[in-house]
A and B are shown apart, each in its own frame.
Chain A
Amino acid sequence: MTVLGTGLVVWAMVLTFGLTDGLEHALRISGHPLDIIVLRKGATDETGSSITPQQAQELATLDGVARNANGEPMCSAEFVTILTKPRRNNGGTTNMIVRGVETIGRDLRPDFEIVQGRDLRPGLNEAITSASMASRFENLSLGEKLEINRVDFEIVGFFEAGGSAAESEVWTDIRDLASARRTPDAVTTVNLRVSDESAEQSLIATIQDDKQFNLKAIEETQYYEDQMTSAIAIKFVGYVIALFLTIGAMFAAANTMYAAVANRSREIGTLRALGFRRRSILFSFLFESVLICVLGGVLGCLATLPFNGLTTGTANWATFSEITFSFRFGPTVLMRGVLIALLTGLVGGLFPAIRAVRMQIVNSLREQ
Chain B
Amino acid sequence: MSEPVVVIRDLHKEFRRDAIRIPVLSGMNLEMAEGDFLSLMGPSGSGKSTLLNLIAGLDKPTSGTVIVVGEDLSDLTEGELAQWRSRYIGFVFQLYNLIPVLTAYENVELPLTLTGLSRRERDQQVKTALDVVGLADRMDHFPRQLSGGQEQRVAIARAIATDPTLLVADEPTGDLDAQSAGEILDLMQRLNSEFGKTIIMVTHDPHAAERASRQLHLEKGVLVDDVSVTATNQEQP
Residues of A within 8 A of B (CB): 266-267, 269-278, 360-362, 365
Contact = CB atoms under 8 A, between A and B. Distances in A.
Given A275-B85, A276-B82, A270 B114 contact: no
A273 B85 contact: yes
Interface stretch (B25-33, B35-43, B89-97): B89-97
Contacts of B93: 270, 365
A277 B97 contact: no
B146 interface: no
B97 A361 contact: no
A211 B114 CA distance: 86
A275 B86 contact: yes
A267 B58 contact: no
Contact of B83 (A271, A275, A278): A275
Contacts of A267: 97, 99-100
Contacts of A269: 97
A274 B95 contact: no
B110 interface: yes
Given A267-B99, A365-B93, A273 B110 contact: no
Contacts of A271: 99, 110
A274 B95 CA distance: 15
B56 interface: yes
Given A360-B59, A361-B59, A365-B93, A274 B99 contact: no
Given A275-B114, A276-B114, A362-B53, A270 B82 contact: no
Given A361-B58, A361-B59, A362-B59, A270 B85 contact: no
A68 B214 CA distance: 107
A280 to B, nearest CB: 9
Given A266-B95, A273-B56, A273-B58, 19 more contacts: A266-B97, A267-B97, A269-B97, A270-B91, A270-B99, A271-B110, A273-B91, A274-B110, A274-B158, A275-B85, A275-B86, A276-B114, A277-B79, A277-B82, A278-B78, A361-B58, A362-B50, A362-B53, A362-B59
B58 A274 contact: no
B152 to A, nearest CB: 14
A349 to B, nearest CB: 18
Given A266-B95, A266-B97, A365-B93, A274 B114 contact: yes
Nearest to A273: B91
Interface in B47-106: 50, 53, 56, 58-59, 78-79, 82-87, 91, 93, 95, 97, 99-100
B11 to A, nearest CB: 16
B4 interface: no
Nearest to A272: B82
Give chain A's interface secondary structure class.
Answer: helix
- Which of A266, A267, A274, A275 gathers the greatest number of chain B CB atoms within 10 Å? A275
A195 to B, nearest CB: 71
B182 interface: no
B196 interface: no
Contacts of B97: 266-267, 269-270, 365
27 contacts: A266-B95, A266-B97, A267-B100, A269-B97, A270-B91, A270-B93, A270-B97, A271-B99, A272-B82, A273-B56, A273-B58, A273-B85, A274-B85, A274-B86, A274-B91, A274-B111, A274-B114, A275-B82, A275-B84, A275-B85, A275-B86, A278-B78, A361-B53, A362-B58, A365-B58, A365-B93, A365-B97
A270 B56 CA distance: 12
A365 B168 CA distance: 14
Interface string B199-221: 00000000000000000000000
A269 B78 CA distance: 14
Contacts of A277: 79, 82
Contacts of B100: 267
Contacts of B79: 277
A361 B54 CA distance: 11
Nearest to A277: B82
A272 B78 CA distance: 11
A271 B101 CA distance: 13
Contacts of B158: 274
B98 to A, nearest CB: 8
A272 B91 CA distance: 11
Nearest to A267: B99
A270 B111 CA distance: 11
Nearest to B82: A275
A236 B52 CA distance: 61
B122 to A, nearest CB: 14
A365 B58 CA distance: 10
Closest 7 CB pairs of A and B: A275-B86, A270-B97, A275-B85, A361-B58, A275-B82, A274-B111, A362-B59
Nearest to A270: B97
Contacts of A365: 58, 93, 97
